[in-house]
C-alpha cells in the first residue's frame, strides 16, 4: 500500500511537472506583412488540395489567406488565447470556418503529420529546434516555408530576398527573406538496383549517403569498382542522378524502401528500380 501511495505521488508529481513545464516562447506576436503572406503561399504553390499548418498563427492571416485565395484547408496554433479567438472569428466572418480553425496549443506539441505545407514566422533558434520534428512527422514532399529564418544546414528549394518598408517597424531593417524547403525522402543506405541491361545485367549495389538531410551522394558498384553518382538531386520523393563516365540520366520516385524509375540514355528510355537492403 505504501509503495502504491509512493507510486501515485510520483505519478502525480510527474503529471504536475508536465503541466507546469513552461511553454517555450517561440517569438512575440508580429504579423507577417500581407504581401509576404501572399509570396510565401505562392512560392509554396499552395492549392485546393493542400492542408496548411501555421505554427504560431497570430491573427491567422496565413491560414486565412491560404483558404480564401488558394482554396486550401488547414489550421493554426498559437499560445495566445486572444489571438486564437480573433483568428477563429475572422474565419467565421470571412466564410472559411469549415475549412480552417485555430487552436490554443503549444507549437512544439502540435502534430504536424497532416500537413502538406507548414508555414512559420518564428525566432531563429525555434525554427532550428523544429528540424527533427519535421523529419519525424512530415511526409516527403511536404513544403516548409519560413519567413526570415532558415533551417540551418538544409538546402532551400527556393530562397527569395527583398526589401520591404513594412519590415522596418518589425525588425528595424527592410530586408525580408522567404525560405522554401521540400521535405526529402530518407534514402541513405545500401540498395539492390536492377539497372538497364546497358549498364548492368546483374543486380548492382547502389549506395546512397545523405548529409545535411538534403545533400545526397553515392556510388554504384559495377564490375568490382564503385562508380560515383554525379549531380544527385533529391526533391521530396523524386531523385535524379547521372553515373560518372556514362551518358544519360536516371530519375526515380522513392517510396516505402523502393525506387522505381527511368533511365534516359538520350536515345531511349528504360526502367530501373532499387530496393533498400540496409
Residues lying near ligand SAM in the complex (CB under 6 A): 23-27, 29-32, 54, 56-58, 61-62, 77-80, 83, 106-108, 121-122, 147
56 versus 140: smaller Cβ distance to ligand SAM: 56
Could you identify the residue written with the cell 512575440?
28
Pairing between β-strand 51-55 and β-strand 73-78 as defined by DSSP bridges: parallel
- Min dist CB 39 to ligand SAM, Å, is 12
25 versus 45: smaller Cβ distance to ligand SAM: 25
Report the distance separating Cα 261 and Cα 172, nearest Å: 49
Report the distance separating Cα 178 and Cα 180, nearest Å: 7
Report the distance separating Cα 226 and Cα 199, nearest Å: 13
34 versus 211: smaller Cβ distance to ligand SAM: 34
65 versus 210: smaller Cβ distance to ligand SAM: 65
- Min dist CB 53 to ligand SAM, Å, is 11
80 versus 221: smaller Cβ distance to ligand SAM: 80
Q: What is the dihedral of CA 98, 100, 104, 108, to 10 degrees?
A: 140
- Min dist CB 224 to ligand SAM, Å, is 55
Identify whether the C-beta of residue 5 lies closer than 8 Å to the C-beta of residue 145.
no
- Min dist CB 82 to ligand SAM, Å, is 10
Helix (H) / strand (E) containing 229: strand 225-235
- Min dist CB 24 to ligand SAM, Å, is 5
Report the distance separating Cα 132 and Cα 34, nearest Å: 29
For Cα atoms 240, 244, 246, give the angle at the middle one, nearest 5 degrees: 90
Q: Count the neighbouring beta carbons within 10 Å of the beta carbon of residue 141.
A: 14
- Min dist CB 45 to ligand SAM, Å, is 19
Report the distance separating Cα 213 and Cα 271, nearest Å: 27
Report the distance separating Cα 212 and Cα 203, nearest Å: 29
- Min dist CB 230 to ligand SAM, Å, is 40
112 versus 243: smaller Cβ distance to ligand SAM: 112
39 versus 237: smaller Cβ distance to ligand SAM: 39
Amino acid at each position: 500500500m505504501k509503495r502504491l501511495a509512493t507510486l501515485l505521488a510520483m505519478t502525480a508529481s510527474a503529471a504536475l511537472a508536465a503541466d507546469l513545464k513552461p511553454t517555450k516562447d517561440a517569438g512575440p506576436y508580429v504579423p507577417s506583412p500581407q504581401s509576404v503572406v501572399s509570396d510565401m503561399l505562392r512560392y509554396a504553390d499552395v492549392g485546393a488540395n493542400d492542408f496548411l499548418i501555421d505554427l504560431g498563427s497570430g491573427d491567422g492571416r496565413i491560414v486565412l489567406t491560404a483558404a480564401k485565395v488558394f482554396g486550401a484547408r488547414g489550421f493554426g496554433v498559437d499560445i495566445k488565447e486572444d489571438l486564437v479567438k480573433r483568428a477563429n472569428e475572422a474565419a467565421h466572418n470571412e466564410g472559411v470556418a469549415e475549412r480552417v480553425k485555430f487552436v490554443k496549443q503549444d507549437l512544439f506539441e502540435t502534430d504536424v503529420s497532416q500537413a502538406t505545407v507548414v508555414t512559420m514566422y518564428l525566432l531563429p533558434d525555434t525554427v532550428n529546434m523544429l528540424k527533427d520534428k519535421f523529419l519525424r512527422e512530415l511526409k516527403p514532399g511536404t513544403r516548409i516555408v519560413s519567413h526570415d529564418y532558415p533551417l540551418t544546414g538544409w538546402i532551400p528549394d527556393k530562397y527569395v530576398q527583398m526589401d520591404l518598408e513594412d519590415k522596418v517597424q518589425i525588425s528595424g531593417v527592410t530586408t525580408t527573406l522567404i525560405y522554401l524547403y521540400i521535405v526529402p525522402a530518407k534514402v541513405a543506405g545500401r540498395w539492390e538496383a536492377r539497372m538497364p541491361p546497358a549498364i548492368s545485367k546483374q543486380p548492382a549495389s547502389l549506395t546512397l549517403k545523405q548529409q545535411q538531410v538534403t545533400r545526397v551522394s553515392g556510388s554504384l558498384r559495377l564490375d568490382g569498382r564503385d562508380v560515383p553518382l554525379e549531380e544527385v538531386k533529391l526533391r521530396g520523393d523524386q531523385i535524379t542522378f547521372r553515373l560518372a563516365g556514362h551518358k544519360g540520366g536516371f530519375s526515380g520516385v522513392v517510396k516505402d524502401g523502393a525506387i522505381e524509375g527511368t533511365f534516359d540514355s538520350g536515345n531511349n528510355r528504360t526502367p530501373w528500380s532499387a530496393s533498400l537492403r540496409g
